[in-house]
């Protein structure tokens, strides 16, 4: 249960940081890719078992 609460805190912190913050642009959000484009990972079988969580940002 403690891990889930920590993840929620991280999500809220990230949302607050990025909301109305034009200084950063999201390049890749791996969870979205895993959910909506599973075939993109077909050549990487281990990625199906360990989705991981990463977010790539660039500063404008």
Q: Which two tokens stand for residue 27?
A: 């390049």
Assigned domain for 1 exists:
no
The domain of 35 spans 22-60
Q: Are the beta carbons of 52 and 30 closer than 8 angstroms? A: yes
Assigned domain for 39 exists:
yes
Assigned domain for 17 exists:
no
How far apart are alpha carbons 47 and 40 in whole angstroms?
10
* β-strand partners of 57: 26
Assigned domain for 48 exists:
yes
pLDDT value of residue 28: 84
> Would strands 55-59 and 24-29 be described as parallel, antiparallel, or unpaired?
antiparallel
Write out pLDDT tens, residues 8-55. 678 788 889 989 899 999 888 877 888 888 887 777 777 766 666 788
Confidence of residue 3 (pLDDT cuts 50, 70, 90): low
pTM: 0.56
Assigned domain for 6 exists:
no
List phi, psi (to 5°) of 38.
-55, -30
Q: How many domains does the structure of the chain reveal?
A: 1
pLDDT value of residue 50: 67
């Amino acid at each position: 249960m403690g891990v889930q609460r920590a993840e929620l805190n991280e999500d809220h912190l990230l949302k607050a940081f990025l909301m109305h913050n034009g200084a950063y642009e999201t390049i890749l959000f791996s969870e979205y890719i895993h959910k909506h484009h599973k075939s993109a990972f077909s050549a990487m079988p281990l990625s199906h078992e360990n989705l991981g969580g990463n977010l790539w940002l660039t500063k404008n």
